[in-house]
Every structure is written in C-alpha cells, then in structure tokens.
C-alpha cells in the first residue's frame, strides 16, 4: 500500500494486486489488533533496534522515517498516540483505521486495486521485468514491478513465500527464511506447570558455547511468560531473533531478582529465614517468587516445601540463591512461522540497490518489506521498515516509469 501510494504520488499509473479478499490483512493483527505502526525514538536509537543490515536502510529512512510516517498518517486524517517505549498507535486503538486511511488515499490517487489477485510469476523480457502473470493466465504488463509479498510468518494472512519464490526464480540470492520474534520451546518440561505465569522486571541471559569459554549473546531486563511448551513474552521474542540456527550450544538463565546483587539477596534470605524460622520453607520462598514458581525452585533444589525454615543449611541456601539469580533453561527449538511475528532472512540485500530498492539482477523489479533480509526488535520497528522500503520502492518505480 505504501509503495502504491508513493508511486501514484510520483505520477505513475498504479495497479495494486492483492491476493487476499481485503487490503492490509496482516496490519489487522499487529500490535494485538491495535497496530504499533512505528516507534517515536530518535534516529540513533532507532538504528540500534535493527538487527540485520541496518546500513541498508539509510536511504529508505531518508525517504520516509518514523517522524515522516507519523506526519503522513496524521495528514491523512489518522490521529496517533505514543505509549510506553515510544510505541506509536492510532488514537482509536484500531488497526483497521490504519488500513482504511491508506486505502482512502489510494482511492483518491486513482490507484486501481485488484483483490483476490494472486500473481504466479514475473514476466521478464530483454533482461528486465515487464509485468506479471496471474493465476488463471491473465497477464499485466508494466514498466516497473514492486514485489512486497511479505515473508513466511502468519501464512493465514497470505504470507506463504510467493515473492521469495519469484525472487529466487529470477536469480536472486536468499538468506534462509527463519521464524523470528517467536516463542521458544525448552528441553525442560517444568515451564508447562507454570503456563500462563507472567514475570515482570526479570533479566534474561543467553550464552553460546564456543572454544574454551562460552560467550554471552543476550542480557536484557523486562517481561516474559511461561507457556505449556516453554517461554514467550517480550524478552523471549527479542532473544529468538538473536539466537544461532544451531541451538545445541545455547543455555539460558533467568535472574528473578536483578535489582539485588548476590550479597544483598543473601542478606535478605537470612533475614527472612530468621523472622520466619518456625514456618515452612515454602513460606519464605513465597516472599521471593510467585508461589508456583517457588515450588518449582524448591523441587529443582531437591528441597521439601515443608522443610522447617530453621533447618535450611548454608549450602542449601546458596543453592536456592543460585536458582533465584540464574534459573536455568535450555532452548530446544523456536516455534514455527504460524506463531512468528516476522520472518528473518529473505532476499539478500546484496542483490538490491539500497538507494532505489531496485534489483541489481533484474532492472525494473523493486523489493519492499519483510521479504528482504531486514528485521528488528518489537516496538514498531518492523512495520517502519516495511513502510520506509515501500515508500522508496514506490518513488523509484515512478521515476522508472516516467523514464521508460
């Protein structure tokens, strides 16, 4: 939609082919139905949230950065609001308002929208893109083609890899598509007993074995969630995009008390044990962790919840303290594309001109959005990548048509 909008504003005659029955189907499910369309942080902070190929985005963000997007949407009649973490939403809290705002502008600009139109292949002639062929055999010729078909995440919204296949068929290199911003299954089964338990203000660590010592690849504080298969929540989703493909050498640890160093936590435990010396150990642990999690920690430590608090030994206290500061988990695998917020990997940015979004291998073909090997953390950054690359692709395609 953004590519069509900017191409039309650039004077091009534009046809938007949508394989679904309505525009912007994926937008409807973003931000839990509210559409976190961008992030209002400054440019330097924004780039820190781009996980792969951030330099490739400089020209796209120059064409339409986060402030430009906010200004554009409000100029089109969509009031916005900024919430915690600089996340930007429509003031109405309705993702559908984002889609309808863009759709109205496309209609005003005279863009022809064809719904339920699935492209089967690109048409190439004379070493350049010349249009597309639809399922059923109909052909549409064009001076420029913008591929913006998304990745593989949430295939129910139409992201089934059509564009990636067409890119590969025309000689473009692909970085292997992987689920990203996705929950993690764990080897341990005890998280299943805590399914639904949310943890706030904890710190999650990830380490990768390598050589003589392991390397820490992640350490962030925030929120996470236990599930029937393992772990999820904001911290876990971000971590999932940073994990290596081979998880065999990865271990995780949760610091349940990041505000307390080891000595301070030990002093707290000694005080609680003294004050509750006649109580059962679970009563002491309930003051340090949610009840069901406290029971799990005691089980992992091999201690009975009914043990008298005054019977706890120094060594047993050290074991409990260690679990509170570094509760161990082992990642088994990432959940699949059906649960992934975005796709990691896609069309190699080496095959795309970052100044125009045009293919280096097939003139007249442009790429935009999630099908490119670009991805970011949660918080509105991935949608901004889509809007920015779409805007630049549309602008560039219009110039191509004007000079065709």
Express each pLDDT in 176-201 by its tens digit: 999 999 999 999 999 999 999 999 99
Residue with tokens 């089980």: 299
Cα 291 from Cα 156, distance rounded (Å): 38
pLDDT tens profile 153-174? 988 888 999 999 999 999 999 9
Measured distance CA(71)–CA(90) in Å, rounded: 12
pTM of the predicted protein model: 0.90
The pLDDT mean for the chain works out to 96
For range 253-273, the mean pLDDT = 97
pLDDT band at 211 (very low <50, low <70, confident <90, very high): confident
DSSP code for 74 = H
**Rounded-to-integer distance, Cα 200 and Cα 337, Å:** 26
pLDDT for position 401:
67
Instruction: Name which residue leads in pLDDT, 32 or 35.
Output: 35
Closest residue by Cα to residue 380 from 175, 162, 81: 81
Alpha helices in 228-374 (DSSP H): 234-240, 262-275, 281-286, 291-301, 314-325
Q: Is the pLDDT of residue 404 over 60?
A: no
Per-residue pLDDT tens digits for 110-144: 999 999 999 999 999 999 999 999 999 999 999 99
203, 254 Cβ separation under 8 angstroms? yes
CA dihedral 143, 148, 152, 155 (to 10 degrees): -100
Residue 41 has pLDDT above 90, yes or no: yes
User: pLDDT exceeding 90 applies to what percent of the chain?
Assistant: 95
């Amino acid at each position: 939609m953004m590519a069509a909008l900017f191409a039309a504003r650039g004077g091009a005659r534009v046809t938007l082919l949508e394989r679904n029955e309505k525009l912007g189907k994926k937008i409807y499910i973003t931000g839990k139905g509210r559409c976190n369309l961008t992030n209002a942080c400054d440019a330097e902070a924004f780039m820190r949230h781009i996980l792969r190929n951030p330099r490739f985005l400089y020209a796209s963000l120059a064409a339409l950065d986060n402030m430009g997007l906010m200004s554009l949407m409000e100029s089109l009649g969509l009031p916005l609001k900024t919430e915690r973490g600089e996340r930007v939403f429509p003031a109405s809290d309705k993702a559908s308002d984002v889609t309808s705002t863009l759709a109205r502008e496309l209609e005003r600009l005279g863009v022809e929208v064809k719904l339920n139109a699935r492209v089967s292949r690109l048409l190439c002639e004379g070493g350049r893109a010349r249009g597309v062929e639809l399922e059923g055999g109909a052909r549409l010729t064009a001076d420029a083609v913008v591929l913006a078909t998304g990745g593989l995440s949430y295939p129910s919204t139409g992201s089934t890899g059509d564009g990636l296949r067409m890119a590969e068929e025309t000689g473009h290199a692909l970085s292997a598509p992987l689920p990203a911003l996705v929950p993690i299954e764990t080897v341990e089964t005890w998280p299943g007993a805590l399914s639904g338990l949310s943890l706030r203000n904890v710190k999650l660590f990830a380490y990768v074995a390598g050589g003589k010592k392991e390397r820490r690849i992640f350490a962030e504080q925030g929120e996470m969630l236990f599930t029937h298969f393992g772990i999820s929540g904001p911290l876990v989703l971000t971590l999932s995009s940073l994990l290596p493909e081979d998880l065999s050498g990865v271990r995780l640890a949760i610091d349940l008390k990041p505000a307390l160093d080891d000595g301070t936590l030990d002093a707290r435990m000694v005080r609680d044990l003294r004050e509750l010396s006649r109580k059962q150990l679970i009563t002491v642990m309930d003051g340090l962790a949610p009840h069901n999690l406290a029971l799990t920690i005691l089980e992992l430590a091999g201690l009975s919840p009914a043990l008298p608090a005054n019977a706890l030994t120094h060594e047993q206290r050290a074991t409990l303290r260690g679990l509170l500061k570094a509760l161990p988990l082992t990642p088994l695998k990432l959940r699949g594309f059906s649960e992934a917020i975005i796709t990691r990997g896609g069309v190699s940015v080496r095959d795309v001109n970052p100044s125009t979004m045009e293919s280096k291998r097939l003139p007249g073909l442009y790429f935009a959005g999630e099908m490119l090997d670009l991805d970011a953390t949660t918080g509105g950054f991935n949608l901004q990548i889509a809007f920015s690359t779409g805007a630049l692709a549309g602008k560039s395609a219009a110039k191509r048509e004007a000079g065709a």
